[in-house]
């Protein structure tokens, strides 16, 4: 209850002067022992005599029946709270504050204590209290002066006549419009007043991000100056700069804002037209740059993790980089999260990215994350920087210092992983470019996070990739090969024992196990046949997976008699391969007598239909495809855990995805066709692609694939098949190509191909590589790694010798 004590002597306040700590001020207020009021719609407050400040319950906007015991400006309609008792602990409706002899006590409606004023002086009994015109609420005892003052317990704001000593501190609010305690502090530390962030989980302070000044007392004097008094007593004026304050006509306050900027504000007392707080002075001037100094690198910066801070009018403006969005839409200062996180589900065990071509880069100039790098390439150009980040599954962003911008002419690439900290954007100070690895927009629907595994069985299509021999039945990429070949291939490896029954998802290879029924359903009872090959029949199915909505289901009718273990072994070998230039095995079924393999679906069919179709594909696209195949083979030969010889490299067995990335299919299956005695009976290579040693009784090596690649490279260059009987003298492509090359008329090979003819240097390089690959002598053929490097231009291609040991014609 409020009791205006009319019989008391006139309300007298000795306004606190600059040295109030030493002044023995006795406020003779009109709040008496036993006075109280409650948090409700009556809005009772205790006001200062001038009517400038009110002490009361402030109803928290947007939070029904939650109240703060606070002090605010009465005259300013837009409520500005300068002090608050229970910022961490809001009071519910009908909570009550009362002046008792031990001080102010805030209790909830059930009588539980929420907050109480701690007496500055032990044992002193409160006798009365007052809301002063300075904004200070004081509790006094009859003979010991003030025993409590709100000025001694500031929240985020100080007012004229208020001071901070070595024990005082300000603590920012959590967010705009919030009153909860946030992550910034202003406090005294080791001889200075500093601004620092705190660890939100423990409250421990980080290093300062700004030093306001040296001294042991921060004073906001009555005239409106903020100053720091140093040890010898002299005063350093901080604010306002270059202007004389006028407290008669303005309210002043200095607040450590939720965004970490300590700001001096003024507000006209008699505003003509709606007034507003204007910021006169603030520190730091550019908060974003303060957090890229090494002393302040700890903490999550003004914008939180994975975000970019840009100073706009002294305030941090927080944005999310490409591929990221705000963690909390309502609070942009809280950091960002990656929309699609590739780590770790898209990573190979060796840390490389599984499907590189699903990612692209978005660049942002003048942006940097100075601290989160885990790898540095130097010297590096943009291409190398992107490639390194693309292939490295952990890499979220690469920061490039362009070679042309650096003093020594060497570019640098810093690779960063999540969380990205202390990101900033500054046109004047940052000379780097951030390259963000993002999921391509057309790949987003393939986001593995989206499909619900339990749904997968319900949908239909599975496209099984046509295999060794495509048939052109429905889709011409399974083009019909008249003579089907069964290849004899060897894995140079120890066979490992894979015992045990696969679970629904094989943890080692991440392959999915399907029941026969699943696949029957997905293919609509094996309705749509895509092709028939050496291993069985391929059906189209619709079945959502990480790789799209379609799959290819290959039904291996030839293996029924084979040992179960052999099948599982091969499946695991295939399942362990991860490369962007290999068709991905998604899962398998080995139920009863059924053996099925489920592959990702390739939208653009086979290289065969692409090369030999009606329209000649673009030169550059063909070169990319050739390089992709070379890389896929390099992986099979040298990089996967178990060496795999493909044995049937030809355009039918290279498929193209929706972005025309070449993917080798049907690797790893030839092993299943080898009979127990390992004889080559009945096995023939595809005419034109087969290395001569096929026909000799010598062990097969990876060089058989190099040979076939060479033939195929010529096909890619010329867009014609390796054997075209009707072309008479030029019927055998390898021979014709060598002839043209050795006679110096290489352009004859690409007669109607303007793009190729205008790129004769590259054409010659490709021819030389191909001729090296098709050497009759296997030892002369380069490895696929060397071939890849040659195609990339990383190594020179020497002049090749004649590839034919004997009269070429005798071979066919």
Ligand X SMILES: *[C@@H]1O[C@H](CO)[C@@H](O)[C@H](O)[C@H]1NC(C)=O
Of 295 and 450, the one with the shorter C-beta distance to ligand X is 295
555 is in an annotated binding site: yes
> The tokens 């100039």 sit on which residue?
365
# residues near ligand X by CB under 6 A: 34
Which residue's Cβ lies closest to ligand X?
Answer: 408
Helix (H, G, I), strand (E, B) or coil at 66: strand
Instruction: Please state the φ and ψ torsions of residue 187, each to the nearest 5 degrees.
Output: -155, 170
Task: Select from 717, 722, 712, 720 the least CA-distant residue to 687.
Answer: 722
Q: Which residues face 537 on adjacent strands?
A: 532, 555
Q: Which residues face 436 on adjacent strands?
A: 362, 397
Q: Does 659 bind ligand X (CB under 6 A)?
A: no
Out of 15, 23, 28, 49, the only residue in the binding site for ligand X (CB under 6 A) is: 49
Contact status, residue 630 vs residue 709, Cβ threshold 8 Å: yes
State the nearest-atom distance from the C-beta of 597 to ligand X, in Å.
47
State the nearest-atom distance from the C-beta of 324 to ligand X, in Å.
14
Of 12 and 805, the one with the shorter C-beta distance to ligand X is 12
Question: Which helix (H) or strand (E) is 799 found in, with range?
Answer: none
| Distance between CA atoms of residues 60 and 87, nearest Å | 10
Query: Token pair for residue 38?
Result: 């409650």
State the nearest-atom distance from the C-beta of 212 to ligand X, in Å.
8
* Choices 226-234, 595-603, 719-727, 745-753 (CB under 6 A): range interacting with ligand X: 226-234
List the beta strands (DSSP E) in 473-518.
Answer: 512-513
Out of 60, 318, 486, 737, the only residue in the binding site for ligand X (CB under 6 A) is: 318
**CA angle (157, 159, 160) in 5-degree steps:** 155
Instruction: Please state the φ and ψ torsions of residue 577, each to the nearest 5 degrees.
Output: -85, 130
Of 132 and 746, the one with the shorter C-beta distance to ligand X is 132
Contact status, residue 310 vs residue 235, Cβ threshold 8 Å: no
Out of 88, 89, 234, 325, the only residue in the binding site for ligand X (CB under 6 A) is: 234
Contact status, residue 683 vs residue 487, Cβ threshold 8 Å: yes
State the nearest-atom distance from the C-beta of 121 to ligand X, in Å.
23
Question: Who's near 350: CB < 8 A, 6+ residues apart?
Answer: none
Out of 214, 278, 325, 365, the only residue in the binding site for ligand X (CB under 6 A) is: 214
* Choices 213-221, 248-256, 517-525, 681-689 (CB under 6 A): range interacting with ligand X: 213-221
State the nearest-atom distance from the C-beta of 359 to ligand X, in Å.
28
Q: Does 47 bind ligand X (CB under 6 A)?
A: yes
Out of 205, 375, 379, 617, the only residue in the binding site for ligand X (CB under 6 A) is: 379
Out of 143, 202, 232, 561, the only residue in the binding site for ligand X (CB under 6 A) is: 232
* Choices 94-102, 215-223, 394-402, 722-730 (CB under 6 A): range interacting with ligand X: 215-223
Q: Which residues 162-191 are close enough to bind ligand X by CB under 6 A?
A: 190-191
Of 31 and 589, the one with the shorter C-beta distance to ligand X is 31
Catalytic residue, chosen from 52, 208, 648, 753, is 648
Question: Who's near 453: CB < 8 A, 6+ residues apart?
Answer: none
What interhelical angle do 760-773 and 733-742 show, nearest 10? 130
Rounded to the nearest angstrom, the gap between the alpha carbon of residue 119 and the centroid of all alpha carbons in its chain is 51
Of 302 and 536, the one with the shorter C-beta distance to ligand X is 302
Of 260 and 541, the one with the shorter C-beta distance to ligand X is 260
Q: Would you list the DSSP string of 562-596?
A: S-HHHHHHHHHHHHT---TTBPPEEEEE--TT--E
Burial 661-675 (b: 16+ CB within 10 A, else e): bbbbbbbbbbbbbbe
State the nearest-atom distance from the C-beta of 294 to ligand X, in Å.
15
> The tokens 């040296």 sit on which residue?
214
Out of 88, 101, 237, 641, the only residue in the binding site for ligand X (CB under 6 A) is: 237
DSSP structure class, residue 87 = T
Q: Does 46 bind ligand X (CB under 6 A)?
A: yes
Of 182 and 668, the one with the shorter C-beta distance to ligand X is 182
Contact status, residue 418 vs residue 383, Cβ threshold 8 Å: no
Q: Does 404 bind ligand X (CB under 6 A)?
A: no
* Choices 224-232, 348-356, 687-695, 739-747 (CB under 6 A): range interacting with ligand X: 224-232
Cβ neighbourhood burial of 745 (10 Å; 0-12, 13-18, 19+): exposed
Q: Which residues face 53 on adjacent strands?
A: 73
Out of 299, 332, 423, 668, the only residue in the binding site for ligand X (CB under 6 A) is: 332
State the nearest-atom distance from the C-beta of 37 to ligand X, in Å.
9
Q: Would you list the DSSP string of 588-637?
A: EE--TT--EEEEE--TT-BHHHHHSSSSPPPHHHHHHHHHHHHHHHHIII
Which strand ranges, in their side-by-side order, compose the sheet holding 433-439? 359-365, 433-439, 397-401, 412-416, 373-377
729 has catalytic annotation = no
> The tokens 């026909």 sit on which residue?
695
Site string for ligand X, 475-494 (x = CB under 6 A): --------------------
Q: How many CB atoms lie within 10 A of CB 576?
A: 18
State the nearest-atom distance from the C-beta of 745 to ligand X, in Å.
40
* Choices 115-123, 221-229, 496-504, 751-759 (CB under 6 A): range interacting with ligand X: 221-229
State the nearest-atom distance from the C-beta of 107 to ligand X, in Å.
19
Q: Does 622 bind ligand X (CB under 6 A)?
A: no
* Choices 234-242, 596-604, 657-665, 691-699 (CB under 6 A): range interacting with ligand X: 234-242
Of 42 and 112, the one with the shorter C-beta distance to ligand X is 42
Q: Does 50 bind ligand X (CB under 6 A)?
A: no
Of 190 and 452, the one with the shorter C-beta distance to ligand X is 190
Site string for ligand X, 3-42 (x = CB under 6 A): -x------x------x-----------xx---------xx
State the nearest-atom distance from the C-beta of 175 to ligand X, in Å.
11
For the chain, the residue count is 812
Please enumerate, as own/partner, the contacts of 793-798 that have beta carbons within 8 Å and a separation of 24 or more: 793/765, 797/765, 797/768, 797/769, 797/772, 798/768
Question: Who's near 326: CB < 8 A, 6+ residues apart?
Answer: 320, 332, 334, 335, 336, 337
| HSE-up of residue 148 (Cα within 13 Å, Cβ side) | 26
Q: Does 314 bind ligand X (CB under 6 A)?
A: no
Of 320 and 354, the one with the shorter C-beta distance to ligand X is 320
Q: Does 213 bind ligand X (CB under 6 A)?
A: yes
| Distance between CA atoms of residues 576 and 333, nearest Å | 42
State the nearest-atom distance from the C-beta of 49 to ligand X, in Å.
5
> The tokens 């004590």 sit on which residue?
5
* Choices 310-318, 361-369, 480-488, 620-628 (CB under 6 A): range interacting with ligand X: 310-318
Of 192 and 387, the one with the shorter C-beta distance to ligand X is 192
Which strand ranges, in their side-by-side order, compose the sheet holding 217-220? 163-164, 217-220, 226-229, 235-239
Q: Does 221 bind ligand X (CB under 6 A)?
A: yes
Of 262 and 736, the one with the shorter C-beta distance to ligand X is 262
Site string for ligand X, 526-565 (x = CB under 6 A): ----------------------------------------
* Choices 220-228, 455-463, 476-484, 588-596 (CB under 6 A): range interacting with ligand X: 220-228
List binding-site positions.
555
Residues catalogued as catalytic: 648
List binding-site positions for ATP.
555
Residues that bind ligand X (CB under 6 A): 2, 4, 11, 18, 30-31, 41-43, 46-47, 49, 59, 190-192, 213-214, 221-223, 225, 230, 232, 234-235, 237, 312, 317-318, 332, 379, 408, 410
């Amino acid at each position: 209850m409020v009791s205006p004590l009319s019989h008391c002597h006139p309300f007298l306040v000795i306004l606190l002067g600059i040295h109030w700590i030493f002044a023995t001020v006795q406020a003779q207020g009109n709040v008496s022992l036993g006075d109280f009021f409650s948090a409700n719609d009556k809005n009772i407050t205790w006001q200062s005599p001038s009517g400038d400040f009110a002490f009361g319950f402030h109803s928290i906007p947007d939070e029904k029946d939650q109240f703060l015991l606070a002090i605010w400006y009465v005259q300013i309609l837009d409520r500005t709270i300068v002090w608050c008792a229970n910022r961490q602990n809001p009071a519910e409706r009908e909570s009550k504050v009362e002046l008792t002899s031990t001080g102010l006590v805030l209790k909830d409606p059930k009588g539980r204590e929420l907050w109480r004023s701690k007496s500055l002086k032990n044992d002193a009994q409160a006798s009365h209290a007052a809301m002063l015109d300075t904004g200070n609420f004081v509790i006094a005892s009859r003979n010991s002066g003030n025993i409590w003052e709100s000025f001694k317990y500031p929240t985020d704001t100080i007012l004229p006549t208020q001071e901070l000593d070595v024990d005082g501190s300000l603590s920012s609010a959590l967010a705009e419009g919030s009153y909860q305690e946030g992550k910034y502090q202003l406090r005294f530390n080791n001889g200075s007043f500093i601004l620092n962030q705190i660890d939100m989980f423990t409250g421990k302070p980080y290093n300062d991000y700004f030093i306001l000044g040296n001294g042991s007392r921060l004073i906001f004097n009555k005239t409106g100056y903020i100053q720091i008094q140093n040890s010898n007593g002299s005063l350093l004026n901080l604010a306002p700069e270059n202007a004389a304050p006028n407290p008669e006509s303005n309210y002043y306050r200095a607040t450590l804002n939720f965004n970490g900027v300590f700001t001096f504000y003024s507000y006209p007392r008699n505003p003509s037209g709606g007034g507003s707080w204007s910021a006169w002075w603030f520190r730091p001037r550019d908060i974003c740059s303060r957090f890229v100094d090494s002393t302040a690198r700890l903490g999550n910066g003004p914008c939180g993790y994975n975000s970019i801070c840009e100073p706009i009018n002294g305030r941090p403006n927080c944005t999310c980089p490409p591929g990221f969005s705000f963690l909390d839409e309502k609070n942009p200062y809280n950091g960002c999260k990656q929309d699609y996180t590739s780590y770790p589900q898209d990573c190979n065990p060796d840390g490389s990215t599984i499907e590189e071509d699903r990612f692209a880069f978005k660049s942002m100039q003048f942006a940097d994350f100075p601290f989160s790098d885990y790898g540095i390439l130097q010297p590096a150009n943009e291409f190398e920087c992107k490639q390194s980040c693309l292939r490295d599954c952990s890499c979220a962003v690469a920061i490039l210092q362009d070679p042309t911008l650096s003093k020594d002419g060497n570019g640098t690439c810093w690779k960063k992983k999540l969380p990205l900290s202390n990101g900033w954007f500054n046109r004047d100070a940052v000379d780097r470019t951030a390259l963000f690895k993002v999921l391509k927009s057309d790949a987003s629907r393939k986001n593995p996070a989206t499909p619900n595994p339990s749904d997968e069985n319900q949908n239909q299509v599975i496209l099984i990739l046509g295999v060794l021999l495509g048939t052109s039945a429905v889709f011409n990429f399974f083009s019909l090969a008249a003579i089907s070949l069964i290849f004899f291939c060897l894995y140079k490896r120890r066979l490992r024992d894979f015992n045990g029954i696969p679970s629904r998802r094989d943890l080692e290879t991440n392959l999915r196990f399907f029941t026969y029924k699943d696949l029957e359903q997905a293919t609509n009872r094996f309705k749509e046949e895509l092709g028939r090959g050496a291993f069985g029949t391929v059906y189209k199915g619709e079945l959502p997976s990480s790789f799209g909505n379609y799959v290819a289901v290959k039904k291996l009718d030839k293996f029924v008699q084979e040992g179960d273990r052999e099948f599982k072994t091969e499946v695991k070998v295939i399942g362990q391969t991860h490369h962007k230039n290999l068709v991905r095995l998604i899962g398998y079924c080995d139920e009863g007598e059924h053996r099925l393999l489920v592959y990702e679906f390739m939208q653009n069919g086979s290289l065969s239909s692409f090369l030999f179709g009606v329209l000649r594909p673009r030169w550059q696209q063909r070169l990319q495809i050739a390089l992709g195949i070379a890389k896929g083979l390099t992986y099979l030969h040298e990089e996967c855990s178990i060496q795999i010889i493909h044995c049937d490299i030809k355009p039918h067995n290279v498929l193209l995805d929706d972005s025309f990335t070449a993917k080798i299919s049907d690797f790893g299956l030839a092993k299943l066709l080898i009979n127990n005695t390992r004889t080559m009976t009945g096995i023939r290579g595809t005419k034109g692609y087969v290395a001569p040693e096929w026909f000799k009784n010598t062990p097969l090596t990876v060089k058989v694939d190099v040979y076939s690649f060479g033939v195929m490279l010529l096909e890619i260059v010329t867009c014609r098949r390796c054997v075209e009987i009707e072309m008479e003298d030029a019927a055998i492509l390898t021979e014709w190509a060598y002839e043209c090359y050795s006679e110096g008329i290489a352009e004859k090979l690409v007669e109607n191909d303007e793009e190729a003819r205008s790129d004769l240097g590259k054409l010659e390089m490709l021819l030389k590589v191909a001729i090296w690959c098709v050497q009759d002598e296997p030892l002369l053929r380069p490895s696929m790694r060397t071939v890849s490097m040659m195609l990339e231009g990383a190594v020179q291609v020497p002049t090749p010798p004649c590839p034919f040991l004997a009269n070429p014609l005798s071979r066919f």
